[in-house]
């Protein structure tokens, strides 16, 4: 079913008003300080062309291409692009925002150390043309005191310096033509031409920047145009069809893509969606909004089913890139009523863009998503999309690093140095990690740079090979399959990892002989939902490698879902996830949310939840801590209670309660991140714990019972 916005995304106006105010405030702040005398006067310099090099990929280069819905490196290893946006080059200042107070090297290094492996850089056609014509100027919005390494440099020289920093710290870069003109509000213009900037100049700007950097595999992707849009009856507006009309964004993306790939055939070409697409029986001549499916600017890729982007020999470089936002950016019909992730996926994401991933048509990179942590609907949307990204392994660049984004805020706080730890905690599970470290898209440089303690290179993950088309050796079959009925309609599975002569890239889950996962599971756990109560199901799992080899199935395992009758009184629900991939280390790190499913507010002081676990020898005393809670750790009460007699999967439980407060109907507590360790720091073995959920995404956890007073309201303790 098509969705039509009630309004245009008016929240973007708020973003730019706040952005402009922050620029002015930042400029006044540093101009009054010691940097004032150090800032060089604006000047114009002649751009120096980069040295020409062949664009053919050489061994060890980091160029990427696509295979079905995956992005892979030259050896065929699957990679995951997980990044963020940093804007400013698109704006009037013509340089990254924030350099009026913070240091460019420190910001870049901190992004790498925290797992940002690609940065999407909005830029304008106007600035690219200025660079092309040798008219790069020294920006006034750079604090020379805070940034001595770029003092007096032109905007182009600042960009080149930053590319070198990205190479040093293992970050890759994507350019995004955000607007035709260098203007803080330039992205409101719906198309890629404006005034003196013609469509041909738009293409020429792309050709110039491609040629300049064609030998540098730090720059790996080009996002052809940010958020082409326009509603019914508006002019100009972007459409998507099979024509060669000027306003057909499909044709514009094809033209730009072919001209870029003629210079460097190794670049990823990102084509965003538009705003509206005609419903069946309608066409682009209609001026009635009722005749169109409508969604966020850049988020409508329905037209790809009828008119896919065709780059000929370059089709394996095409990536589709929708944008998606929450209700604080603009009210939308899909955020009314009893909405949740299921309704968003069914009514908005699937028909507009997610079908491309599920049908293995092409990779998706969600170029913009993010927002304020409001503890309410916006955070609910953001968590739902984060979970989708993580489960489906969708590529993405979070909006944004900048705290001066008026309707979303940023990952950085207003000092441009401190991180918003609550927002980062939400994002972190969607950043590529392997063995507890962040993964670079560079084969030689770990994310964070040489000697990084937080990052890995692709060679660290895959070795020197992988993805070889001559690789015909399948992975070993998964072992140790476990299956737990987590209610009347879901089963949670877990298994031990397979091994492969190159690398295992994912797992397929089978129920009663039929594959039930639309994309390979990247971890060693999966929750199968939508099941029938009191029904016996048989499961098996197969492993995959980068060459497409599939293992023999695991040993099958049967499980019966719970009946739908009887049970707890209701009113509460517990959601649980595990982002700790080490079930045998010396800490248990459950993450919980407690939801009020009743029609009335709940007194949190009467609510408790019990997380059951085994202590597994060593010291019997276990301590518990709250590491983070949306409600505040000061409001969380914890105690570890040993059982009088051990039962299957538990000899103790962690009781989670609250000092006070109320939980409104239909709301949840937000994340509660907990940690337990024994007095002697000896290891646990969580693999058989009653309450452990192997899923890295929040799922309903009936193995974590919840109580109102002494009455069981959710789940069941171990028998």
What DSSP letter does each residue of 580-616 carry, written as one string? ---TTSS-B--EEEEEE-SSS-EEGGGEEEEEEE---
The span from the CA of 381 to the CA of 492, in Å, is 24
- Asked if 479 contacts 449 with a C-beta cutoff of 8 angstroms, the reply is no
Helix-strand-coil split of the chain, %, nearest 5: 25, 25, 50
What distance in Å separates the CA atoms of residue 691 and residue 701, rounded to the nearest whole number?
Answer: 8
Q: What is the dihedral of CA 177, 182, 188, 194, to 10 degrees?
A: -80
Spatial CA neighbour of 583 closest among 678, 671, 683: 683
Q: Any catalytic annotation for residue 130?
A: no
Contact 538/510 with Cβ under 8 angstroms? no
Residue 468, C-beta contacts closer than 8 angstroms, at least 6 positions apart: 75, 76, 502, 547
Q: Is 157 a catalytic site residue?
A: no
Short-list 282, 284, 276, 323, CA closest to 302 = 276
CA distance 525 to 509: 10
Burial zone of 67 (CB within 10 Å; 0-12 exposed, 13-18 middle, 19+ buried): middle
Counts of helices then strands in the chain (DSSP H, E) = 12, 37
- CB under 8 Å to 4, separation ≥6 — which residues? 289, 290, 292, 293, 294, 333
Q: Which of 78, 227, 391, 686 is catalytic?
A: 227
Within a 13 Å sphere around the CA of 208, how many CA atoms are in the beta-carbon half? Answer: 19
Structure tokens at 540: 């098996």
d(CA 396, CA 389): 8
Q: Which residues pair with 662 in a beta bridge?
A: 603
Distance between first and last Cα of the chain: 45
Q: What is the rounded distance in angstroms from the CA atom of residue 524 to the CA atom of residue 514?
A: 19
Burial class (CB in 10 A: 0-12, 13-18, 19+), 496: middle
Q: Residue 693 and residue 673: Cα distance in Å, rounded? A: 14
- On whether the CB atoms of residues 100 and 143 are closer than 8 A, the answer is yes
Rounded to 10 deg, the angle between the 155-169 and 104-113 helix axes is 30
Please pick, among 368, 391, 686, 700, the residue that the annotation labels catalytic.
Answer: 368
Closest-CA residue to 198 (of 275, 271, 273, 129):
129
Query: Can you tell me the distance from the alpha carbon of 315 to that of 349, in angstroms, rounded to the nearest whole number?
Result: 24
331 CB-contact burial (10 Å; exposed 0-12 / middle 13-18 / buried 19+):
middle
Give how far Cα 388 sits from Cα of 297, 334, 342, 357, 428, Å. 20, 17, 10, 12, 14
Q: Indicate if the alpha-carbon torsion angle 567, 568, 570, 576 is positive or negative.
A: negative
| Structural element, H or E, at residue 118 | strand 118-124
Dihedral angle sign, alpha carbons of residues 678, 684, 687, 689: negative
Total number of residues shown for the chain: 719
What residues act catalytically?
A: 227, 368
């Amino acid at each position: 079913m098509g969705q039509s916005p009630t309004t245009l995304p008016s929240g973007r106006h708020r973003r730019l008003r706040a952005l402009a105010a922050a620029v002015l405030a930042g400029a006044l702040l540093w101009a009054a300080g010691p940097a004032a005398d150090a800032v060089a006067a604006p000047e114009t310099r002649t751009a120096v062309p980069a040295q020409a090099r062949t664009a053919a990929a050489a061994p060890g280069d980091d160029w990427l291409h696509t295979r079905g819905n995956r992005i892979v490196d030259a050896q065929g290893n699957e990679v995951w692009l997980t990044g963020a946006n940093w804007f400013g080059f698109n704006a009037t200042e013509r340089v990254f925002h924030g350099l009026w107070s913070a240091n460019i090297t420190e910001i870049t290094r901190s992004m790498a150390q925290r797992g940002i492996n690609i940065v999407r850089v909005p830029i304008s056609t106007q600035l690219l043309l200025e660079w092309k014509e040798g008219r790069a100027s020294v920006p006034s919005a750079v604090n020379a005191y805070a940034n001595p390494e770029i003092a007096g440099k032109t905007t182009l020289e600042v960009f080149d310096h930053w590319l070198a920093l990205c190479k040093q710290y293992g970050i890759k870069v994507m350019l995004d033509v955000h607007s035709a003109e260098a203007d803080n509000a330039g992205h409101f213009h719906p198309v890629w031409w404006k005034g003196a900037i013609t469509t041909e100049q738009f293409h020429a700007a792309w050709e110039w920047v491609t040629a300049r950097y064609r030998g540098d595999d730090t720059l790996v992707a080009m996002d052809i145009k940010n958020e082409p849009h326009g509603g019914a009856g508006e002019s100009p507006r972007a459409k998507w069809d099979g024509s060669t009309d000027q306003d057909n964004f499909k044709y514009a993306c094809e033209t730009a893509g072919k001209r870029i790939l003629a210079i460097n055939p190794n670049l990823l070409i990102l084509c965003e969606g538009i705003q509206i697409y005609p419903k069946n029986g309608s066409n682009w001549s209609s001026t009635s909004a009722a005749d169109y499916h409508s969604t966020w600017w850049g988020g409508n890729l329905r037209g790809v089913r009828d008119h896919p982007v065709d780059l000929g020999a370059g089709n394996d470089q095409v990536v589709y890139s929708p944008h998606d936002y929450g209700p604080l950016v603009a009210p939308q019909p899909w955020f009314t009523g009893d909405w949740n992730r299921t309704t968003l996926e069914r009514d908005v994401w699937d028909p507009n863009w997610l079908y491309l991933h599920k049908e293995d048509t092409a990779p998706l990179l969600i170029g913009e998503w993010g927002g304020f942590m409001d503890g309410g609907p916006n955070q609910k949307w953001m968590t739902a999309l984060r979970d989708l990204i993580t489960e489906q392994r969708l590529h993405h660049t979070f909006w944004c690093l900048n705290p001066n984004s008026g309707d979303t805020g940023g990952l950085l706080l207003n000092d441009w140095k401190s991180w918003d730890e609550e927002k980062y905690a939400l994002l972190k599970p969607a950043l590529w990690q392997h063995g507890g470290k962040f993964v670079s898209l560079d084969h030689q440089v770990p994310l964070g740079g040489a000697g990084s303690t937080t990052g890995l290179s692709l060679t660290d993950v895959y070795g020197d090979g992988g993805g070889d088309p001559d690789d015909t050796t399948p992975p070993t079959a998964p072992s140790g399959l476990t299956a737990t009925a987590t209610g009347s309609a879901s089963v949670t599975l877990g298994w031990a990892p397979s091994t492969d002569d190159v690398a295992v890239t994912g797992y397929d889950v089978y129920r009663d002989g039929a594959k039930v996962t639309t994309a390979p599971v990247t971890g060693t756990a999966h929750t199968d939902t939508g099941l029938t109560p009191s029904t016996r199901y048989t499961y098996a799992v197969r492993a995959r490698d980068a060459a497409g080899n599939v293992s023999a199935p695991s040993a099958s395992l049967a499980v019966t879902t719970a009946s739908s009758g009887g049970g707890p009184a209701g009113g509460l629900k517990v959601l649980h996830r595990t982002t700790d991939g080490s079930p045998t280390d010396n800490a248990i790190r459950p993450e919980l949310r407690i939801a009020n499913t009743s029609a009335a507010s709940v007194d949190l002081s009467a609510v408790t939840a019990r997380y059951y676990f085994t202590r597994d020898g060593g010291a019997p005393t276990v301590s518990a801590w709250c590491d983070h809670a949306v409600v505040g750790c000061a409001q969380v009460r914890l105690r570890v209670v040993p059982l009088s007699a051990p039962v299957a999967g538990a000899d103790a439980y962690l009781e989670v309660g609250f000092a006070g407060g109320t939980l409104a109907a239909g709301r949840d507590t937000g994340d509660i991140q907990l940690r337990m360790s024994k007095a002697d720091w000896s290891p646990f073995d969580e693999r058989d714990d009653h309450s452990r959920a192997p899923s890295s995404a929040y799922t309903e956890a009936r193995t974590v019972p919840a109580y109102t007073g002494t009455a069981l309201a959710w789940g069941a303790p171990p028998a």
